[in-house]
Amino acid sequence: SVAAGGKLLVVPVDGSHWLSMREVLDGLRQKGHEIVVVAPEFRLQIKPSENYILKTYSVPFTQEEMEEDF
């Protein structure tokens, strides 16, 4: 094959960009890639999945503050 399964680190932007990226990641996982997604602990669209490992980091605001801003 042209490419072998490898490791991929993803630092996505929450929202509609993530929805498109998630489909790509699902396809890459099916091809054998190991995927780690790094996201803030409070997020809207980025949810845990069996197709990738989700690692979170602390942010200086609460879930309520983030939802209020949106």
41 in a structural domain: yes
48 in a structural domain: yes
- Whether the CB-CB separation of 59 and 42 falls below 8 Å is answered with yes
Check: pTM over 0.75? Answer yes or no.
Answer: yes
Which of 40, 47, 42 lies closest to 19, judged by CA?
Answer: 47
Give the length of the chain: 70
Average pLDDT of 39-53? 90
Structure tokens belonging to residue 16:
């509609």
Predicted local confidence at residue 44, as pLDDT: 81
CA distances from 45 to 4, 16, 33, 67 (A): 29, 8, 22, 12
Task: Assess whether pLDDT exceeds 90 at residue 61.
Answer: no
37 in a structural domain: yes
Predicted local confidence at residue 27, as pLDDT: 92
18 in a structural domain: yes
Task: Assess whether pLDDT exceeds 60 at residue 19.
Answer: yes
Q: Which domain holds residue 57?
A: 7-69
Average pLDDT of 54-66? 87
1 in a structural domain: no
